[in-house]
Structure 1
Amino acid sequence: MKFYQVQSDITVRRAEVFDYSASVPRGNYLKMVDVLVFDDRTVECCLVDTSKIHSTLLIEDRETAEQVLLADRENRISAAICMIPGGALRISKRNNRLQTDPISAFKNRGWLSLHRTGDAENPTSQLDRQLKETSERLREAEARWRESEKKLDGEVGAAKSEIQELRQRAMVLTKSLSKIENKLEDLQRGTGKLESHLEDHKNLSAQIQLNVERIKTRKAEIETLVQEYRQGRDKFTACGNEIKRIQRDKAELNAQIEELRDKIGEARDAVRSHQMKIGKFRADVNKLDDFVHVQLPPVIETLARRAESHCSREEAALTPEDTIEKVDSQIEAIANTLSKIERDVGVSRDQAKLDVIRAHDVYSDVKNKYQDSVKLHNHLASSLQARLDNLTATASLLIQEVNSVFESALRLRGFTGKIDFDFAKARLVLKVSTKPSEKLRNVESFSGGEKSFAQIAFLLAIWKPMQSKVRGLDEFDVFMDQVNRRLALKLILQKVADNPKTQTIFITPLQISQVDGLDHPSVHIHEISPPERVTRA
């Protein structure tokens, strides 16, 4: 570091490799980790853990960087680095306010052009991105295929030309051989010249054999190129089938979404229709009850009095001495009486019978609906009572579990206590005793360290039934003395070790003293130095 004149701290840590893809910010901006090349995965994970290079964006424009940070609702982006005249700026967000730190030592030497990467925000955009990437791969494969085909055609043409040339040379050699054979008799007197021709013949034969071997090699290369062409064609066909499958899946998903929306609308309309029918039935029931119990009895009593005024029950009784003429006369008299009654009442007998039948039918219908409503009410009441019983039993078990963990945590310091749950007033009270012989009392009367220890025990107790994957506690030990702080850390390490699949984060501005359990492989301590900030006006 002295040789390179670097003034910085030396990081000493255990070699560790982990997967940080879940915490990478979404979006299509270049990240610092994208422009770095690592030969050692451990160095990459170290920089991710200490410098957050996976969540630090590289953006050319300052205004764009600020907009991206303000739009980050998940707080996945740790900072954004943008260029300014004479250097660069590091922009971060804290409590929804932007803070800038100048990077004066950085000079804009060959600023990298940004490219767009990242995932889409919704399934439809993700499918479109996959289609686009698949199309890109298809175009690249098609280009490679055309290039290979072009190269293959060139090599095949060259091989054909070479074969044609070899054939022509073979024909020339054949003609030369025939001429040599014809002149063998003439060359018998020239032994030296014959030997020379024989040597030429051997050389030409060797050349022919060499050309034959070259032709075989060219054929093997042509077969290899044909195999590569077939493989490229198969990949191109597979990519096309994959695109079609993705398009079909997308169409099916869109159809299912539209169908579900239609069903939801129909269900809502049906609910509104049933509610209107229930209101109408209740009004009909009330009207019928009013007619049966209020309006109908006076009418019946009036008709009975009028009938008795015309003829008593004893007078209406028939005797064996009554003749047909007498009965007819009585019937005629009764008919006249009934006609008089109809004129007095203003309703005919047939109309009165129809009204009574209709009223009885309406009453029966409303009564059946009322009985169905009563059955439904009883069923809902029993279901509600069962759910209430389950809720009560669940709450009782949770109270027992919370009190058990709370008492177990207090026993680390020799304390006793319990948590009183008052559901009627929607509150709970922590009662603790520092000695077994003393009565339980409210923790508000304890000292700062004892109160903080009891509150931490309470937090660990309610964390037990929550079963959260990530938990955090900030500045839990600022009001504790060293004894209570050491015991609280010991308690926290014991309880956290019981849930190895849950990540628990504790933040404290104080130094961490030596406590049993801090050297466990699952415990990681990160010390952060105060940053130099420049607040914008």
Structure 2
Amino acid sequence: MPKRPATVETDSGSDSERGTPKRTRRQPADDSDSDQAGPSQRNGRQGRGRRARNEEDSDAEAEVVVPVAVDDEEFENAHRDRIRRQLESNNRAAKGQAEYGIIESIECVDFMCHERLFFEFGPQINFIIGHNGSGKSAVLSGLTLALGGKTNSTGRGSGLKSFIREGTNASKITLTIKNQGPEAYKPNEYGQSIVIERRFTKEGSSSWKLMNEDGKTTVSNKREELSAICDHMNIQVDNPLNVLTQDAARQFLSGSQPTERYKFFLLGTQLFQLSQEYDTCLDNIRKTSKVLQTKKEAIPDLRRHYNEVVTRFKEAEKAVAQKKKVDDLKKELAWAHVKTKEDELKKAHADLAAKKKNIPKVEEKIAGSELELEEKESVVKACEDERKELGSVGHLQERKNKFADELRDKRKTLRTCEHDLVTMRNQVSTVDSQISGLERALEEEKKKMEADSRAKRAHLEAEISRAKADIAKLEAEQEEIRNRRESRRNDMLQAQQAGDQAKAQVEAHRTSIISSQTALTAAKASERDTFVPYGNNIKAVVEEIDRSTWYGDKPVGPLGRYVKAREPSKWGDILRTQLGQLLTAFAVTDARDRDQLKRILLKHRNTNNIIISERDLFDFRSGEPPEKYLTVLRALDISDDWVVRLLINQGRIENTVLSESRRSLENELKELHGGVGWSRDQFNVRVFPEGGASSHGLQIRKNDAQSLLLTGRNAQAEIAHHEAALVTLNQQLQQVTQALQQAVHQATQLRRELDGPIAREEQAKVVAIRNRRSDLNTLQSEYNDEVPANSAGLLHALEEAQAEKTSLLTQKETSEKNKATLQTAVAELEAQLAVVNGHIGEYQEKLEGLTTKLQTAITERVQVQNDIKHWTQRLAKEKDLVKTAESHAKVTEEEFDTWTKAAEQFCSRVETTRTPETIERESDSVRRALEAREKRQGATVEELTAQVNKAKDAMDKAEGEWKSANRLNKALRTSLLIRLHRWQEFRSHISLRCKLIFSSHLAQRGYFGKVLFNHEAQTLTLRVQTDDQLQKGTQAEKDPKSLSGGEKSFSTICLLLSLWDSIGCPLRCLDEFDVFMDAVNRRISMKMMIDTANANPDKQYILITPQDMTNIRIGDNVRVNRMLDPVRRTRN
């Protein structure tokens, strides 16, 4: 194949225009070098006639020989027949429908002009028809946006906001893609279909959901996953030939220029993208060649430097003899230091023996004081036992207070009763005087009344009686209504109360769900890190503790690592709540280690407690209650004996009692004559030795990381437990929510009944009673008119006075009875109070005597304890001195052994009697003489040796790296040349296939034509000879501009079908392709497109046209979707 050379040249402008070598979908700029045909043309015009020199020792700038494309006519003659046969073979070959990568359905909600648009597509040919303005093009826009295409490629808007239907705030597009067959994308996760949902809002937010075939389970919401799906299925949504929008189709069909058609050809076949990437590779190879040339120029300098250092090193070898004298003195000095350390070791052993003799004397003092302490303890215990036998005065004091309160209340009530009797006697006397006066006055008035008015008064009295009876009846009915209303009101209040309770339960369940979710998160974290319940990054804390050095024993913790609950389901919550701070604590044996441990904890943002305690495994059995009582210690399984003692000292777990309920726990503590305990119903109970008890509730924490302690479950079981709890809580939440809705509904119904029928009925009764009372008042007035005014008034006053007297007498009798009862109760309470006061006085006398005796015994015991403490501290001090001496002797011995081993490794033993100082003075004298010689040379022998090695390594490394990188760059150049040759072959094959298929499609209309490619000028020209030219015998071929509208559109459709044959994407979309065609050209074009689709059943076609399908034969593999006519809205 002929070639022409081209030198690869770059400048600042071209670097920025070519972009990165990544294979991304890009839209080229019209005014940049990106519009060039490819590397074969662009580089072929540069440096013509020059050859690259690829030898390793070449200093010239790297050049690349780019192969020149073979002549089109020569290539066509060589390959036309073979490609034509291949096309015919492909047409005859049976192909199946595509198993993945085709669109099954699309749904657009509030998108462009559609409130909801839904289409199901067939696997092969799909037509979308409808009148202009019906929103057909929204299908392709939705398809582009759902697959991650650019908004400007739709030709319908510059941003997502412009696609949201007017009057709404968001839009949603749902796309279903087929995903079957052996090449399906993640079939175990997505199934036989992939559902892609994209939602965007006017606020600018946008999101994707990639779901499985049922559209309910979200597999991913990342854009990268969508890109992976498109790459796997070879869907190129931004490729202008795959999805030809309405504007692009109109431009392509009616007014496209040769350069634009050539640009479509390169972009659609992705040859342009390969071209850009090859250009980037060429630039990188050139830059690498320049760097390699620079590295090669530095190698001679490194070699010269190496030779200079070797020369200096040979001169320095003359100082070796003098250096040997220095080495001999170093060996003697090493063994002189060993002898000095041996003398120091003997002195340390003598000091240790002297200090050990003091310990037995101090221990004897402690033993004597401990015997004395036992005697004092027995005296104190006897006093305490006598004090316990005395008992408590609490119950007597309670009785005294009770009697005093009752006596005070009775006396107050008695005084009030006596005062009321005096008042009532005076009131009865006054009323008797009033009654006598009224009777005399009434008798005088009766004598004055006339006999002729008696009949009328009798009639009025009868009417008044009837009116009163009616009123009484109406009031009874009104009372019945009121009772019924109150009953309904009570029912409503009960419903409201039930609603409030249900609402509280809903909130409680929601809180519990949040708590369970938090605990589930902590459990999942603990699956990865078992230290999660103990604080922040405790695992790193423990690792740092293991690496650090400590004065005492290595710190132990967290203590919860060594603790398990024997019955976690029963006692886990109580023990975790009460012992939480201790379970997360750490322990040290030396107070000096506390600050270092605290710094480690604070470094990881922890404030865990730190316990300082000696490792004392004391016997604690004497402090435990009998076996029948369950204590905290007996409820735990602790794997470390020292942790047991720490929890006993800090938490008194050996005598803290556990019981099922507060009452049973209080009874058990009383049997033990006092103590502390925790009950399963969440109470902390304390019973005092002198009597009495107190208790308070425990706050159980369930939503923090410590809730994972003492559960008895591993991480997986803990996760399963909380997940099951979440399911149960959610079910319960649904139930209480339903109960809440029912209660609200019932309360609303009752409120309507109260405000409706019952209220109206009650109002009617009120009106009836008011009217009847008005009648009664009228009759009463008439009656009063018949009776003299004085008689009526006197009669009314007499009745009121008699009624008042009767009431006063009844009250007086009741008060006299109460007074007698109160006087008896006061006398009894005074006698009982006197007896209780006597008992309390006797108790206080005995208590004061025992208290004085006990205080004296305790004072003496404290004195003995102080003596023990003094001698114990003295013993500890002596032991510390012994320990320090032992440590010093041990360190000295270790140093002696280490120095001896080091000296033996350095040289054989050298006997010497000189001190290290004497040897060092002689060695310094010889070393100064050696340094003076080295100073003249500029470096020591060791430094010169290091310089020689360093120079040799640098020279070898530079030469090796240059050779390796040069070989790689040559391999890259060779590979790129092969790829450039392949690129030109791809372009030639695709061009020839396009020409043959174009001619074949034109022949179906009776036309003759061809496609002319000019790769140098980057043009694609059509030449067509129509049937009328053939009839006229004209052989000249027309340019598309001279064709009629229908002929031009038909020829362009033939070109589009030819280009489609070169695209691997399973999807072809075309919008309004027949707007410029007449009926004949449209019918033939449609048939040709359907035949092409039938020949390629593994491709899916979505074709949009405003025309109807009346004259088109529809097969089984063709699906027609009709859009409704557009709805026109008019403004008022």
TM bracket (short chain): 0.3 to 0.5
Rg comparison, structure with higher value: 2
Question: What's the TM-score once normalised by structure 2's chain length?
Answer: 0.19
TM-score, normalised by the number of residues in structure 1:
0.37
**Relative contact order, higher structure (CA 8 A, sep 6+):** 2
